[in-house]
Structure 1
Amino acid sequence: MSSTANSSLTFSITSQNTHALQPNNNISRNSLLVRRLILSILSLFAIISLLNFIVWRIIHPLPPVFEVDSFCISTTPPKHSPLTSTAYDIQFGITNPNKKLSVLMDKFEILVFHGKNMISRERMGPVYLKKMSKKSSNIPRDLPHLHGKMLKFKSIRWSKRGVTFDVKVKFQVRYLAWSWLPKRADMEISCRDLSVRFLSAQGKGALMGGRRECSAHFQ
C-alpha cells in the first residue's frame, strides 16, 4: 500500500510540473519567434539601404543647371535721387543634365542681395523636369518667373556702370529613378555678380553680358 501511494504521489507531482512548464515553454518559443522576426526585418532594411546606397553611387546624380536668362528692373525715381523701391523680374532657365533620372524640385526660397544686404526673399512653386529636359520659352513651368516684386533699396544710385546683385536659390531636389526610394538632397544655387545697367531716361535696367550660369552646391 505504501509503495502504491508513493507512486501515485510521484506521478501527481510530475504531472503538475509538466503542466507548469508548458506555459514557460510557449513564452520562450514566442519570444524566440519575435526576436527572429525583428532580426529579419532589421537585416532586410540594412540590405535595402546598402543596395540603395550602391545604386545611387553608381548612378551619380548631377545637380540641375540654373541660368539667369534675364534680370530686369523698372523704376521711375526723381533724377539724381536714391532708389527707394522698384519692380524686378528674374527669369531662370533650368536644365536637368541627368540621362537616367527625372528631378522634382520644391520648397524654393529665392534671396536677392545687393552687397551684404538682403533686399528680397521670395517663394516659388515646384518644378518637375524629365530626363535631359532643357529650358524652353514655350514651357513656362520650365522657366520659373518672378513678376513685379518690390525691392527696397538703401543707397543705390543711378550708374552707367551698372548695379551688381547676387541671387541665391535654396530648394530641395528629389531624383526619381523608379517609384520607390527616391534620393533627396538640399541644394543651394548661387548666381553672383549679376550686373544690371540702368538707363536713367527710361528708368529701366537690364542684365549686362547676357545669360549667366549659376553654381550649384549640395548642402
Structure 2
Amino acid sequence: MPSVTLTTRFCTNVRICARVGVCLLAFQAIAAQAQNVSYALDASHTRVHWEVSHFGTSTSRGRFDDITGSLQLNAGSGLGEVSIGLATASVNTGVAPLDRVLRGGYLASGEHPQAYFVASGWRWKAGEPLEVRGELTLRGVSLPLVLRAPRLHCQPHRLLQREVCGADLQGELQRSDFGVSDGLPFIGNTVRLLIQVEAIRQEPR
C-alpha cells in the first residue's frame, strides 16, 4: 500500500511513522466515504401515487405509470440527490374517461409531457432521514417542494447480487400554484403525494 511505502522509505522515527500511517489510512477512508454511489431507479418497484379530495365526500386516487430517475447517495456524509421524472400522459385512475380529462385541462400533457422532481437537500437526525428538499416542475412551473422521508434503507439484494436502496417519500402541494385550477373548489386544491422508490446500485464503468 502507498502508506507502507512512504513510511518505509521516508520515516526514521517509529512514532512519527506510525502517525503518518494512521493519517494516510484515515485519509483513504475519508476519500472513500466522499464518493457518491449511483443508483438507477427500478421502474418495477417505483410508484408515484396522488390523492385529492373529491367534492369533500371522498378521496380520489391515481398514479403515474411511466417513471424514470436516479439516486446519488453518500453513505459517509448523508448527502445525495434524488431525481424522478414522469410522463404526465401516463396518469392512471382506473377510469379511462377521467384519465383523458386529467391529461387535458389538468396536466396539459400535450404541451407539458414531463414532470420532474429533483432534490439534494437531505435532512437527517440520529442517522435517520427526516425529509428531502427539492424542486417540482409541473406544467412548466418550477417550485420548491419538501417531501418527508419516513423510510430510507439500503441492503444487498439476494437475487440481483447488488445493493438496493428503497425509500418512502410523502408530501403535499397546492395544485393551483402550478396553474392546475380546473374543478376548484369541488376538487380539492391540496394534492398529497405518496412515492415509493427502489434503486439498484450501478457499478463504475
TM-score range, shorter chain: 0.3 to 0.5
TM-score, length basis structure 1: 0.33
TM-score, length basis structure 2: 0.34
Which has the larger strand fraction? Answer: 2
